[in-house]
Amino acid sequence: MTKIFIYKKIEGVSCIPELYPIWGIENQGIENQLNIKRILPFYRNAFFEIVSTPDDADFILIPHIYNIIQKRNPTYLDDAVYFSLQKKKHLLLFAYGDDDSDIALKNTVIFRYAQYRHRKRQNEIIVPLYAPDGALETPVSFLEKHAGAPTVGFCGFAQYPSLRSVVKAFVKNLLWELAALIQGKPIVRARKGGIYFRKKILAILGASPHIKSAFIVRNFFSSHKKTIRIDVECVRKEFLDNITKNDLALAVRGDGNASMRFYEALSLGRIPVVIDTDEIFPLEDIINYHDFCLFISLGDMHRADALIRKYYNEMSPEEFLRKQKLAREIFEKYVRVDKFYELIFSRPEEILKRVKL
């Protein structure tokens, strides 16, 4: 187990979830964060060993989330870097959130889930989203392959909630379109907003005779009590049912370049259909995601329905069952948050082999 020295804790500021097993969840401000509350069963045991002096540590850990500290006390981060350089230990920093901006801190390993492949820095480690394990809420069952068109499910935030948000998104997406044209880099279009891609693919699939769509479109974010607009339990049941009752689960990024639904589909043994916005996935050095997911590039979105039908038709019943079981196995073994961090912190080398500093 990796040995960690914790840098100065700032009183009144919430800590990273990875410290919940050590410091508890009291006063962490998670009352309204529904998915955080759903993953608490995974944070019962410590992932690393805490040591009292930096000399005994493999790494020094900043106990708070980057974007919170950067806004409240940016000099704290500079001091932490200076301290880590003095002690000749690498600094660990968790940059949870949708922002993919560069973090220019020397000697630092950055853990983040929202990043683009063309922007990833050598000191970044991609982590899974804090997705609940659907198997704790509903039984996992595997579907048999049937004749005819496959059913593709989606349930989530895919409609702008107001005219203001429509205008704001239009301007932002237009700027990214112009940037792609000026730079001559089509991949820049992947930085358009998540709802843009969700609306586009839902329209394509919804009008297609090649697949059967099962879409529940909402104009609110359903993982926070302050944004959810109908009964929490009802919303959650609809979401889980939409995954389990359909052959394939559509997974499209949100505001950050990552999809919570992707991981929840894996947890329930469903094959995700990923609209590839230049995403990076955890542990790509040991997981072949193409073995149990269908990836559709942005350039192929216009024929996504035909690609889905072809993918489904070409699978044998045995292959369809195998992919479902493998999806569940990968989640349970590697990308559920506790399993991921147990692996990453099992020894210092697991971190160091994935970064260049």
Domain assignment present for residue 175? The answer is no
* pLDDT higher than 80, residue 229: no
Give the pLDDT confidence of 139-194 residue by residue, as tens digits: 999 999 999 999 999 998 888 888 999 999 999 999 999 999 999 999 999 999 99
Domain assignment present for residue 15? The answer is yes
* pLDDT higher than 80, residue 1: yes
* pLDDT higher than 80, residue 224: no
pLDDT given for residue 330 in this prediction: 98
In percent, how much of the chain has pLDDT > 90? 77
Asked if 28 and 109 sit in the same domain, the reply is yes
Q: What's phi and psi for 178, nearest 5 deg?
A: -65, -40
Distance between CA atoms of residues 350 and 243, nearest Å: 33
The enclosing domain of 320 has a CATH number of 3.40.50.2000
DSSP 205: H
- pLDDT, mean of residues 93-105: 92
| Banded pLDDT at 232 (limits 50, 70, 90) | confident
Task: Please give the tally of structural domains in the chain.
Answer: 2
H-assigned helices in 73-115: 74-87
Residues 6 or more apart in contact with residue 264 via CB below 8 angstroms: 131, 132, 134, 239, 240, 243
Give the pLDDT confidence of 294-329 residue by residue, as tens digits: 999 999 999 999 999 999 999 999 999 999 999 999
Asked if 276 and 303 sit in the same domain, the reply is yes
pLDDT given for residue 43 in this prediction: 82
Asked if 203 and 56 sit in the same domain, the reply is no
Higher-confidence residue of 43 and 261: namely 261
DSSP 28: S
Give the pLDDT confidence of 107-143 residue by residue, as tens digits: 999 999 999 999 999 999 999 998 999 999 999 999 9
- Residue 272 three-state SS: strand
Mean of the per-residue pLDDT values of the chain: 91
DSSP 332: I
Q: What's phi and psi for 141, nearest 5 deg?
A: -135, 150
Higher-confidence residue of 221 and 282: namely 282
Asked if 108 and 233 sit in the same domain, the reply is no
Domain assignment present for residue 348? The answer is yes
Q: What's phi and psi for 118, nearest 5 deg?
A: -75, -5
Domain assignment present for residue 68? The answer is yes
* pLDDT higher than 80, residue 81: yes
| Banded pLDDT at 40 (limits 50, 70, 90) | confident
| Banded pLDDT at 71 (limits 50, 70, 90) | confident
pLDDT given for residue 233 in this prediction: 81
pLDDT given for residue 36 in this prediction: 73
DSSP 347: S
Range of the domain at 63: 3-131+337-352
pLDDT given for residue 221 in this prediction: 65
Domain assignment present for residue 268? The answer is yes
Asked if 44 and 78 sit in the same domain, the reply is yes
| Banded pLDDT at 225 (limits 50, 70, 90) | low
Residues 6 or more apart in contact with residue 335 via CB below 8 angstroms: 128, 263, 266, 282, 283, 287
* pLDDT higher than 60, residue 55: yes
pLDDT given for residue 159 in this prediction: 87
pLDDT given for residue 92 in this prediction: 97
Domain assignment present for residue 236? The answer is yes
Asked if 277 and 139 sit in the same domain, the reply is yes
Give the pLDDT confidence of 9-39 residue by residue, as tens digits: 988 888 898 998 888 776 566 655 666 778 7
* pLDDT higher than 60, residue 223: no
Asked if 219 and 76 sit in the same domain, the reply is no
Domain assignment present for residue 177? The answer is no
Pairing of strands 3-6, 294-297: unpaired
Asked if 141 and 271 sit in the same domain, the reply is yes
Asked if 266 and 146 sit in the same domain, the reply is yes
Distance between CA atoms of residues 110 and 121, nearest Å: 9
Structure tokens at 270: 């469903």
pLDDT given for residue 28 in this prediction: 60
pLDDT given for residue 94 in this prediction: 96
Asked if 139 and 82 sit in the same domain, the reply is no
Asked if 151 and 264 sit in the same domain, the reply is yes
- The candidate with the shortest Cα–Cα distance to 247, out of 213, 206, 203, is 213
pLDDT given for residue 12 in this prediction: 82
Domain assignment present for residue 292? The answer is yes
Radius of gyration of the chain (CA): 21
Asked if 70 and 203 sit in the same domain, the reply is no
- The candidate with the shortest Cα–Cα distance to 4, out of 344, 333, 353, 354, is 344
Q: How far apart are the first and last CA of the chain?
A: 22
- pLDDT, mean of residues 102-109: 94
Threshold 0.75, pTM exceeds: yes
